Structure 1
Amino acid sequence: MPNFYIKTYGCQMNEQDSRQVSKMLVDRGYCLVENEEEADVILLNTCSVREMAEQKAIGKMGMLRKLRYDRPRLILGYLGCMAQIRGDGLLNISPHVDLVVGTRKIHRVAEYVDAIFRRSQQARMDDERLPIVEVGEEQDASTNSLNRAHTSKESRATAFVSIMQGCNMHCAFCIVPQTRGSERSRSMEEIVEEVQMLVDEGVLEVILLGQIVNFYGRHSFKKVDNKSPFVQLIERIHRIKGLERIRFISPHPIGFQQDLIDCFARLPKLMEHVHLPLQSGSDRILRSMRRGYTVSTYLRLVEKLRAARPDLAISTDIIVGFPGETEEDHLATKEVYRTAGFDHAFIFRYSPRRATRASAMEQQVTEEAKEARNQDLLHLLRVTSARKLSACVGTRMEILCEGPSKTNPSRFSGRTRTNQLVVFDGSNRHVGQIFDVLITGSSASTLYGDPALSL
């Protein structure tokens, strides 16, 4: 049977889509390989959040074309967000591509690949290649791409579970509403059943995924006892025996009402970590971004969350160089960073995206200014993170071991309850287990430890 290879760019939602496509292809008899040189089908699952991600995928596809010299029947395809937003325009850039499938038809990828593969087997060598381009949205198929065909576990420890897709917020810088469509949520029963299935397979931690995950079900399901559908879902998952940890990404600050804040105080399986995108520490820039909150409301939310769970770790996203951002705005962001006391941050240079309000704004910031502000915040991140992690040395912390370290396969790694990475000397018996480690060292981004309890 044919082999296939998938390379994924971008967020965890894209990673989840790739897992879904992989399972559907395997179900049709295809074999997943880890090396593109061995593949009969190569798919690039793309991202459009930043221009660099698009250029990486396009450049990679150009390099893959060379493989056709030895394998003329090799099938090449674009999937995901860039495919959704660019559609058949990608054929002008990459005319050798056989398949362009957007996010709204991700559930049809295996079908399209199979059709192209069978057609190529029947064709003569000089027959014209006829690409398939499919980015439309099917009627009454709003949750097709959220089906549970991809319930295979991320590892024996952790699994991602998509609970919704799409976004209705239309932030000025963001292309997600165009690539993922409007909000649509899976049924609560289906999600709970999927989590139960994963726990039965040995998974100890689930991470709930959504473009704005804490908006789950707000247009589909009713509040019960003044609890939002998202809180109801967390409570139901929390009751599953054998599940030890619950996380969610990525939320929006305005989606944190009191019922969700209270969850951190009363639900022990909900981990002591929140990813809380700030984007800017300037009220003027936040208004221009159309974020829907002010610096003061954001900082009050941080206070409420830490009051509910004093040991809570908070990470964030920040965009530098948004149109109109001045040096004063940048300094305001640095001040908010210090005030909030973030444990970690993902810092991005603003990248204009087609069909977004920000791309047409005046006062675009120069690349030199973006880079300088990016480096300035990265330096602040390294200093504050190193200080926080060094304070952990000598303490014991609970981790869930996920497997070998990605940077050093001879060692193992796990995550604390606050989502901090810990690297340690261990063995395969640690994988998929929850246990304490003694923290013996730290860097600006990583803790190092020894297992404090034998297994």
Structure 2
Amino acid sequence: MSHAGDLLFLLCSTQSRMNQLGATKWIDESRQGTALQPEEPSATSSRKCYIESYGCQMNFNDSEIVAAILKEQGYGLTTDVAQADLVLINTCAIREKAEQTVRKRLQEFKSLKQNKADMLVGVLGCMAERLRHRLLEEEKLVDLVVGPDAYRSLPALIAEAESGQKAVNVLLSREETYADISPVRLNSNGVTAFVSIMRGCNNMCTFCVVPFTRGRERSRSPQSILRECEELFEQGYREVTLLGQNVDSYYWIDPQTQQATTFAQLLEMVAQINPWLRVRFSTSHPKDITDEVLYTMARYPNICKYIHLPVQSGSTRILQLMNRTYTREGYLKKVERIREILPDCGLSTDIIAGFCTETEADHQETLSLMDICEYDMAYMFMYSERPGTLAARRYTDDVPLEVKKRRLQEIVEKERTLALKNMQKEVGKVRTVLIEGPSKRSDQDFCGRTDQNKMVVFPKKHYRKGQYVNVRITGCTAATLLGEVVEETIPEMVA
């Protein structure tokens, strides 16, 4: 999950559930608002809440936590904002366009309130602390502002707002993980789910706002994570993605026994829940991913062979300015180690074009690193300065916009070429696919992802969502594999 960017980014090749797009679409879908839908209708609830989320998957997971808290207060969820008593917008502070979009939506909600005076509007998440005064006092767009560590206080804040007061809680916490809250699964396909294993970040990358908006790093207890994953499996889910800003730095010390649990150990625990439960994780940091994690992945067939390893730049000089704490050479050694231990592992990354002082030579180093790593997919961004970050305080954003655009386009073209090449290598192979649901383009086809996180589309026939099937790959685009299910299918596991 990258924390930089500007304007548009392109998702090439493998479709990720966090931001699923074809390689030819220029659109920032992950930053668009999504009206979150509940698993079940809430027609009997006396009060209705409408939640709209922006940004990374951590934000969407937070919205599921908020939905669970509000459910306990008697709120049902609605996808019709006009029917809502409470409207919440979960915000992203990664780039300026996201903030502009949120402000536009708040203006629309303000107009809606003119015909429904008792409607409350609130802002959640990463924009809350920085813009609270402006949104509450200057523009008077919202009734409550709640930071990512303050969701438990929502009931009290709602009551305060209902009394006519402006309600605010943006305090960050060193302990809050919401470990005891079972998220209400929103926009769920019933097959795949995200499970947060930690919150916050200790890495002070100079371009990134996350340490300032989400606070310091803290891990959930492994017991709470295992309980959530077990419950999901019992409910019919067949894949979990373990989420964190930097999952490899997960570290839990039992307060009674003082026994520590590392990410590799946690990964193994989750894999042992059931061999029919697929396990993924995101995001890894190159400085923290270990051989222990890689060997654990190799030992368990149900741990997917796919790693998202953000590089940001191929230039050691730029990496130092970004405070990424590794060099170009160090990153390439990590990739080499992944290839040695997991030869068939899918690999994706994040890349920022036009960071402060980036020269043409720095840019060429990024392109050459892409050739070496042969990424299956990349999230690609133009750098934009974010208020409050170390880069905003230390450096001048001195790369002209037109240069940034041209460099980003070259990165995009490079990744499109690499993505298509990697997809073409899949043709003729038989891959195990977990059926996630109908294809978006045809109700006669199913879609699902391979172990390596490549999306496959194939005829439905008599197969069912949530079933594992073996698919022979017969064709591809740069974003999607096409195939046919072979007769030998993997039996469906009945919970």
TM-score of the aligned structures, taking structure 2 as reference length: 0.83
Say whether the 8 Å CA contact 1:143–1:185 is kept in structure 2: no
Q: Which residue of 2 aligns with 1:8?
A: 53
Q: Deviations over 1:416-442 (max 9, x none)?
A: 111111223327952111112232332
Distance 1:285 1:304 in 2: 23
Matches within 5 A, 1:46-57: 46-57=91-102
What residue number does 1:34 align with? 79
The correspondence for 2:136, drawn from 81, 86, 91, is 91
> Which position in structure 1 is the counterpart of 2:13?
none
Matched, 1:164 2:190: no
Quick one: which of 98, 113, 122 aligns to 1:77?
122
1: CA distance between counterparts of 2:447 and 2:156?
Answer: 37
2:250 to 211, 216, 221: 216
**Number of equivalences:** 441
Q: 2:467: which partner in 1?
A: 433
Determine the C-alpha separation between the residues in 1 that align with 2:244 and 2:414: 29
**Letter of the structure 1 residue corresponding to residue 323 of structure 2:** R
Q: Higher relative contact order at CA 8 Å, sep ≥6: structure 1 or structure 2? A: 2
Q: Structure 2 CA distance, aligned partners of 1:323 and 1:223? A: 44
- 1:179 corresponds in structure 2 to 213
Specify the alignment match of 2:330 in structure 1: 297
Instruction: Tell me if structure 2 keeps the 8 A contact 1:438–1:451.
Output: yes
- Which residue identity does 1:397 align to in structure 2? R
Checking the alignment, whether the CA contact within 8 Å between 2:471 and 2:486 is kept in structure 1 is yes
Query: Counterpart in 2 of 1:195?
Result: 229
Residue in structure 2 matched with residue 123 of structure 1 by the alignment: none
CA deviation string 1:197-228 (max 9, x = no partner): 2112122111111111110016779998xx96
Change (3 A) 1:12 1:223: farther
Deviates more, 1:253-262 or 1:278-287: 253-262
- The answer as to 2:387 corresponding to 1:342 is no
CA contact (8 A) 1:46 1:79 kept: yes
What are the residue-to-residue correspondences of 1:4-403 with 2, within 5 Å?
4-92=49-137, 94-113=139-158, 116=161, 119=163, 129-137=164-172, 142-150=175-183, 152=185, 154-217=188-251, 229-241=262-274, 243-360=276-393, 361-362=395-396, 364-403=398-437
Change (3 A) 1:74 1:344: same
Q: Give the number of the structure whose residues are more often helix, by fraction.
A: 1
Q: Is the 8 A contact 1:283 1:295 kept in 2?
A: yes
2: CA distance, partners of 1:431 / 1:438: 18
1:241-295 residue CA offsets vs partner (Å, 9 max, x unmatched): 2542111111101111221122222222211100000000000000000000011
Quote the Cα distance in structure 2 between the aligned partners of 1:89 and 1:349. Answer: 27
Unpaired runs of at least 5, structure 2: 1-45
* Cα distance in structure 1, aligned partners of 2:323 and 2:204: 8
Residues 217, 381 of structure 1: alpha-carbon distance in 2 compared, 3 angstrom cutoff: same
Letter in 2 for 1:445: A
Amino acid at match of 2:475: G
Q: Give the SS at the match of 2:319.
A: helix
User: Please, what TM-score do these two structures have when normalized by structure 1?
Assistant: 0.90
- Deviation of 1:346 (Å): 0.3
Query: Are the structure 2 counterparts of residues 420 and 181 from structure 1 closer, same or farther at C-alpha, using a change threshold of 3 Å?
Result: same
Per-residue CA deviations over 1:12-41 (Å, capped at 9, x if unaligned) read 110100011112222322121223233222
Q: Is the 8 A contact 2:53 2:89 kept in 1?
A: yes
SS at match of 1:403: strand
Contact 1:166 1:184 in 2 (8 A): yes
The one-letter code matched in structure 2 to 1:331 is Q
Q: Which secondary structure state, in structure 1, belongs to the residue aligned with residue 127 of structure 2? A: helix
In 2, Cα distance between the equivalents of 1:35 and 1:382?
Answer: 38
Question: What does the per-residue CA deviation read over 1:350-397, in whole Å, with 9 as the maximum and x for residues that have no partner?
Answer: 121111111131252121111111111111111111122123233322
| Larger deviation, residues 43-52 vs 151-160 | 151-160
Cα distance in 1, alignment partners of residues 377 and 286 from structure 2: 17
Letter in 1 for 2:168: V
Work out whether residues 222 and 261 of structure 2, in 8 Å CA contact, stay in contact via their aligned partners in 1: no
Any idea what SS the aligned residue of 1:375 has? helix
Aligned to 1:124: none
In structure 1, how many angstroms separate the alpha carbons of the residues matched to 2:68 and 2:78?
13
Identity %: 37
The whole-number CA distance in structure 2 between the counterparts of 1:155 and 1:426 is 16
SS at match of 1:189: helix
For 1:302-331, what per-residue CA distance to the aligned partner results, in whole angstroms no more than 9, with x for missing partners?
011111111001000001111111111111
Q: CA deviation at 1:87?
A: 2.7
User: Structure 1, unaligned stretches of length 5 or more?
Assistant: 120-128
Shift in Å at residue 85 of structure 1? 3.1
| 1:48-94 deviation line (CA, Å, top 9, x unaligned) | 12222222111221122221233222221110001133333322464
**Deviating more after overlay: 273-282 vs 250-259:** 250-259
Structure 1 residues 333-357: Cα deviation after superposition (integer angstroms, max 9, x where no partner): 0000010111110001112111111
1:407 Cα deviation from its structure 2 partner: 5.5
Shift of 1:185: 0.8
